[in-house]
Structure 1
């Protein structure tokens, strides 16, 4: 086994995470998301403080799921939808927050050929128009009929594109900020005025042509003194940690061909990639350009109404960003969940950008000033006050990164838990992927024994350099060069107990998955990550056009990069029940949890902690075929494998009951229960060189005691060992939760000891113990083993420690130290006898 992998501790809030997922946790991470503290924790400032010339620039991230589910889910449940709530809030507060302009960054709808979605978007945008609020809007990949990377805007049939029918240039021209468009009508530019200064907003469509880039150059050349905010659906991506920016080939193309050579562009906004990030680059003029990604479509409720509010402070030279949701605060109280936080407060969701506007723009506009009305207090705080007025929200979800591979929550009812740490390199015939919860180990199927075309042993490897941040496993199995015909997979043994496990009364399936960056729909669509193999035609499922000979249960990815979970419930005659996520990004990790709850008769899919919108109802448990194995890495249809997973799969766990996020692998083990039941205290006899500590802790955790050497000032530390293996160097709490450790090599002096338990980088709060060792000339009391005083834990088990009287055991009598020491010396023998009798009595009781 390789050594424990240490990870830095980072606190984050999951809006699902999570991230988000989203949580997130997307992290992203990829849709790992940071949630705000409860409303009661927010503070306000004096409206008269820090007056400056300010305005707010609003950004609407991808609204595709708001448009798609407006009529189906949001309107029936709430009477409105997030998109319309966002625009209504902007319209209602535009004057108060000085909002001169709102920018949409694309993916207005989810399905470009569905008129109902465009109607929902039309209803939302009409609110801005009716209020006289200027805005820009552009196409994302979901807003055009063919989003293939082989096509650019000039290749489209302009007469057929729905975006131009619903949001064409004639409609844009009714906005006084609109100044013109390129020949396709997709790209446009607007000019708005705020605080006596003018700014241009330049919009670019999905997959811009060189001709359109030339048009953009010409527009800026015609307005050479205007600072430019560029909006496009894709510029910047995000890493799996949910924070770090990642540049894309398309974004670099825009940089090279447009942004770097136009000093007027100082700020960009884009969506498309799930989460939030930002990157500062230096253009050809030596000046900073700030690229900002903001997209929450994979968060709770398709984004939960989060938008960006960017306060421009022209007086002090700063842009202050915050991520807020008018939708959250508009919901009925009884509908709120822990995901409903009015603000996201992660590092990429609340931040400031220092920018001396006059100096930054001096190269093309030497007259740019500090604004015309420097009399506004913080608009960021004002927006917070408006949103939080009367809002009594739920507590957010807390989580943090794991300390090492031990740092996860053991879940009651776990029937299998497959982990990959300790493995490395090619998964061959001798490799065993251990089920750490039982005897359901996985092994690789010999490629030569399958119908796979071209598959090799080297196609499957265990890797540890790139894993989901909230998986404590620290490793994953990766399947390379997979397709419909080339595949590899891992399987349980023919006689594994899990093959026949009864999950008819509810279950939870968890896994961490990633699609390779070169994933394509043609090669990899409809592939599967986890399958309970079998054949639906062997069950009571009625004949069906779709998947009648597929396995009863499977988790995979569609041709549209949506997670699909399809399963026959325990009532197979009702047919399958299917869950669908939103669009999943390639090259990014996701945590997927499938929870079947018999009480609600629902199956809910969570991606990075956030429940998806399309979940299954009227479903309890699952049907299975006796003796059929579980597999990872491929689909199983017509009694054979096919459609290999092109990407990686991390630790995977199956539980025989419905769970909550508190039970999931994204949560951390509880380190708060450290108890120190015996420790040295008070004055110890001269010549004492060794003292012993003991207590209770988390099985498998490290326990460490540290103190300073009064003579040398160096730290002295001893690791815990089990009572039955005192000479062992293993720094662990034993399986019964007991630990004992000893400090050796001590000398006369006073000691402040700290006892902690930890899992790698994550450590508990310390328990303190104080003691002293008398010098050779000092009288000392006889030792008595005691429990620590202040800061000590509870516990009834005696330790083997050497100690004096417990801290705080003596009353405050006002006697001086010499008299107290004399009294202690006179009573030492009696104390020793009494302690020995009591210790033996307790020992006999325990034994």
Structure 2
């Protein structure tokens, strides 16, 4: 993993961490479920096309027996080691690292695995012996199974990983890596070839299909002496194809797809790889994602560099490992990425991120390579070997997928329109960003739709920002598609120049005073600007309870954040979401939760759920809990006079370091909730949608009423028309308008509003739907007859007429039920002069059969009429 030193911020609250190397885990929405990265475009500086080009036709069909073997690859395992004892074992009874090596041992014969390569960052915190113990247990599994492996130090595995300090400068006697994985331990393997004077650089020779291959491992920051040693190793074995591993070789671009070369990677290329034709493949981790790049060496031959690192995916990598099938007879290398960890989890613990394989390019691909031709210059005798293996990649795929039912990739439903969200009792504040798009004026107000804690844009003069402009904050009409609100976007935020803008509640707002003693749910939609940089925007904040921790009684002095706000959601300098809070018991000090790496330009829904009774605070990113969460916490300690802030940090009693990106609707609830109550959930449209429309023969009708989803639009069509919005209490009423024509019953009637005496005599048919924009319910259909003046009518007002449409979109005709659920129709409207006549309804009226109505759209755009089955909703 990249180690980015925390940048000085000019005060004692620099990084939100208790140690200078804190790292995040968890969910990124798109990283684990969809495949961390996709295929690469060729970088302009490379000598040949990327490996993503179309492969040459293989010499042997994959289904045939051929000469094949599999190299197993373990990308960065640092978070598995770090959280083995504290998180994984308590939850699952095991950790992903040992699960990976056990799976390899169990299937080594089946997949013909002669060797396993670890790509470095064995642990996260080099000085923590428990992490090394977890790594030792995992690699011992391979040793017990007699499967040779290489394991190399990454930047997290050495005591000083400074870029300007080479491996020959280390105090080797103090290095934990050499204490836990000494050369003597490696020498016990039959494949071990030797090591350099530091013991950090080693090589192995393994046999596969009658041929010998070398795995050359170079340490973090290989010195000139190390490269000279590597040169000598290849000279000692001049006819052996070489796979080189080093923790850093190839990087990945900000788009999460394209390869990107680094200065150190080019040092290895120019100082060693390009001039040694034996090196045909390199593997590295360190940078978060998966990509590859094919270059041309000094001999005109291709060298492919592959990056695999899943540590920022769900649960610190979710156990994904790489498998490279060397199809010697088919002239190709086939890559697969799968997770033994996902396979091992209890079914009830699986989330949408738990997919057994990642299939996007970068994770799954085929690399054409004519081995005999590629190795001809230094190994003219290289041959395929015995054709005794079937399709190993197909076998691996079967091992990962057969019998496993993956959870749905996503069960969330996009908002159909404005107001399409769950209302939740106990909402302290709910800030929505609706209105005309464009620049947000100083002082412009955004309503708290749940109370009286409105937000306003703080004036530039009051903010203390240097160089901020009105146009730096804009309102956009649509934020995250899973939100039913617009969003505000903050441009030009730059902590190096002091430019930022933000929104805040008024000093006396009710939400400012709420300590959330019984727990809480704070959720927001956020997006990071694609131009984000750690220098300008590291440690920026989105949602803050402003104040100064040092002012809180009992707050212990801390190295970091002692003068920061009591609670805040922001982004680290490694693009990790961080939630930091001081619980109600101030003496407990800071509690944090951390996500995995967040990709710029993508919306994320973040929910922070505090369960005061359980003493936990859990961060969810796009519905999935992150691995590292706060414990021994509950409620919040606050400064009651201080406002909530959206769009900036608040440290040392002043705002600073604005959010670079967008913030969507944000809500605070005074108790812990689950996903069914979050802003990403949709109100049910069929359940609870009722009408008290009359049936049979009645004397007077002026309106229809009923119940529905708060905020939904109810549309009435047929012989009577109208619309209404369901109140926050879940009630609606539609004053009737007669249709211009309504078939036989309504022919000749003008389209007019119904007067105080109600509808004129005749038969009326109707259909009712409720919805939010594109998301609508099944229809409630029915009918009734209005008696002529002086005619008391007959029938049963308690029996409805009509039914809801079925899933095929047809509305069934019927009698004896009112609408979809068969509820008795009640609440018939009658003018005062007809009360006596209305009382006669209880004696029974004649039900009127109603034909099925077809749904049509009103001029205003609301969907009405015949049923449309399969409308998506979530309870």
Instruction: Specify if TM > 0.5.
Output: yes
What residue is the counterpart of 2:370 in the other structure?
357
What residue is the counterpart of 2:309 in the other structure?
295
1:197 aligns with 2:214: no
Q: Which segment is superposed worse, 477-486 or 466-475?
A: 466-475
Gaps spanning 5+ residues in structure 1: where?
1-18, 34-47, 676-695, 704-721, 727-734, 743-755, 768-784, 799-833, 840-845
| Distance in 2 of aligned mates of 1:490 and 1:363 | 67
Change (3 A) 1:31 1:532: farther
Change (3 A) 1:21 1:613: closer
* 1:25 alignment partner, SS class: helix
What residue is the counterpart of 1:650 in the other structure?
663
What residue is the counterpart of 1:445 in the other structure?
458
Alpha-carbon shift at residue 585 of structure 1 (Å): 6.8
What residue is the counterpart of 1:7 in the other structure?
none
| Candidates 598, 615, 639, aligned match of 2:629 | 615
TM-score, length-scaled by structure 1 = 0.66
Query: Do 1:54 and 1:379's aligned partners in 2 also have CA atoms closer than 8 Å?
Result: yes
What residue is the counterpart of 1:792 in the other structure?
809
Question: For 1:628-656, what per-residue CA distance to the aligned partner results, in whole angstroms no more than 9, with x for missing partners?
Answer: 31113433345x22552564353252241
Change (3 A) 1:64 1:207: same
| Candidates 97, 107, 131, aligned match of 1:83 | 97
Q: Which segment is superposed worse, 143-152 or 455-464?
A: 455-464
Query: Do 1:30 and 1:238's aligned partners in 2 also have CA atoms closer than 8 Å?
Result: no
Alpha-carbon shift at residue 482 of structure 1 (Å): 1.0
Alpha-carbon shift at residue 127 of structure 1 (Å): 2.7
Alpha-carbon shift at residue 100 of structure 1 (Å): 0.9
Question: For 1:410-437, what per-residue CA distance to the aligned partner results, in whole angstroms no more than 9, with x for missing partners?
Answer: 5635655557798988766366667677
Summarize the alignment of residues 522-533 of structure 1 with structure 2, pairs less than 5 Å apart: 528-533=541-546
What residue is the counterpart of 1:245 in the other structure?
258
Change (3 A) 1:624 1:397: farther
1:166 aligns with 2:180: yes
* 1:398 alignment partner, SS class: coil
What residue is the counterpart of 2:392 in the other structure?
379
Query: Do 2:806 and 2:812's aligned partners in 1 also have CA atoms closer than 8 Å?
Result: no
Alpha-carbon shift at residue 666 of structure 1 (Å): 6.3
Alpha-carbon shift at residue 121 of structure 1 (Å): 1.7
What residue is the counterpart of 1:493 in the other structure?
506
Change (3 A) 1:490 1:358: same
| Distance in 2 of aligned mates of 1:463 and 1:211 | 58
Question: For 1:334-369, what per-residue CA distance to the aligned partner results, in whole angstroms no more than 9, with x for missing partners?
Answer: 873336847133424763304243366255467476
TM-score, length-scaled by structure 2 = 0.64
Question: For 1:219-262, what per-residue CA distance to the aligned partner results, in whole angstroms no more than 9, with x for missing partners?
Answer: 55665554443333334455677x62352534763686365666
| Distance in 1 of aligned mates of 2:437 and 2:259 | 27
Change (3 A) 1:649 1:358: same
Alpha-carbon shift at residue 538 of structure 1 (Å): 6.5
What residue is the counterpart of 2:296 in the other structure?
283
| Distance in 2 of aligned mates of 1:239 and 1:247 | 5
Question: For 1:198-224, what per-residue CA distance to the aligned partner results, in whole angstroms no more than 9, with x for missing partners?
Answer: 333333333445665565566556655
What residue is the counterpart of 1:398 in the other structure?
410
| Distance in 1 of aligned mates of 2:852 and 2:101 | 74
| Distance in 2 of aligned mates of 1:377 and 1:698 | 60
Change (3 A) 1:443 1:88: same
Change (3 A) 1:64 1:354: closer
Alpha-carbon shift at residue 447 of structure 1 (Å): 4.8
Alpha-carbon shift at residue 462 of structure 1 (Å): 5.3
Alpha-carbon shift at residue 109 of structure 1 (Å): 0.8
Q: Which segment is superposed worse, 62-71 or 180-189?
A: 180-189
Summarize the alignment of residues 399-478 of structure 1 with structure 2, pairs less than 5 Å apart: 399=411, 410=422, 412=424, 416=429, 429=442, 442-450=455-463, 454=466, 456-457=468-469, 460=472, 476-478=489-491
Alpha-carbon shift at residue 108 of structure 1 (Å): 0.8
What residue is the counterpart of 2:324 in the other structure?
310
Question: For 1:450-509, what per-residue CA distance to the aligned partner results, in whole angstroms no more than 9, with x for missing partners?
Answer: 556x45338955599x99898886874345321597765332333545434564433322
| Distance in 1 of aligned mates of 2:89 and 2:596 | 22
| Candidates 567, 582, 585, aligned match of 1:572 | 585
| Distance in 2 of aligned mates of 1:646 and 1:457 | 15
Change (3 A) 1:62 1:603: same
| Distance in 2 of aligned mates of 1:150 and 1:420 | 48
Query: Do 2:493 and 2:659's aligned partners in 1 also have CA atoms closer than 8 Å?
Result: yes
Select the structure of larger CA radius of gyration. Answer: 2
| Distance in 1 of aligned mates of 2:638 and 2:378 | 71
| Distance in 2 of aligned mates of 1:837 and 1:386 | 56
Alpha-carbon shift at residue 110 of structure 1 (Å): 0.8
What residue is the counterpart of 1:66 in the other structure?
80
| Distance in 2 of aligned mates of 1:698 and 1:272 | 49
What residue is the counterpart of 1:336 in the other structure?
349
Q: Which segment is superposed worse, 414-423 or 599-608?
A: 414-423
What residue is the counterpart of 2:148 in the other structure?
134
Summarize the alignment of residues 799-818 of structure 1 with structure 2, pairs less than 5 Å apart: none
Change (3 A) 1:91 1:531: same
Q: CA RMSD in A?
A: 5.7
Query: Do 2:576 and 2:594's aligned partners in 1 also have CA atoms closer than 8 Å?
Result: yes
1:125 aligns with 2:139: yes
| Distance in 1 of aligned mates of 2:88 and 2:139 | 17
What residue is the counterpart of 1:827 in the other structure?
none
| Candidates 654, 660, 663, aligned match of 1:641 | 654
| Distance in 2 of aligned mates of 1:628 and 1:444 | 16
What residue is the counterpart of 2:838 in the other structure?
none
Gaps spanning 5+ residues in structure 2: where?
1-23, 39-61, 690-707, 725-730, 740-768, 780-801, 816-847, 854-864, 866-875
Q: Which segment is superposed worse, 654-663 or 581-590?
A: 581-590
Alpha-carbon shift at residue 573 of structure 1 (Å): 5.4
Question: For 1:560-603, what per-residue CA distance to the aligned partner results, in whole angstroms no more than 9, with x for missing partners?
Answer: 8764423244x435634612326747868665331123564421
Summarize the alignment of residues 737-748 of structure 1 with structure 2, pairs less than 5 Å apart: none
Query: Do 2:337 and 2:364's aligned partners in 1 also have CA atoms closer than 8 Å?
Result: no
Change (3 A) 1:261 1:794: farther
| Candidates 15, 25, 30, aligned match of 1:25 | 30
Change (3 A) 1:510 1:786: closer
| Distance in 2 of aligned mates of 1:354 and 1:587 | 30
Query: Do 1:526 and 1:643's aligned partners in 2 also have CA atoms closer than 8 Å?
Result: no
Change (3 A) 1:163 1:543: closer
Alpha-carbon shift at residue 58 of structure 1 (Å): 0.9
Q: Which segment is superposed worse, 94-103 or 21-30?
A: 21-30
Change (3 A) 1:797 1:665: farther
Change (3 A) 1:24 1:543: closer
What residue is the counterpart of 1:508 in the other structure?
521
1:271 aligns with 2:276: no
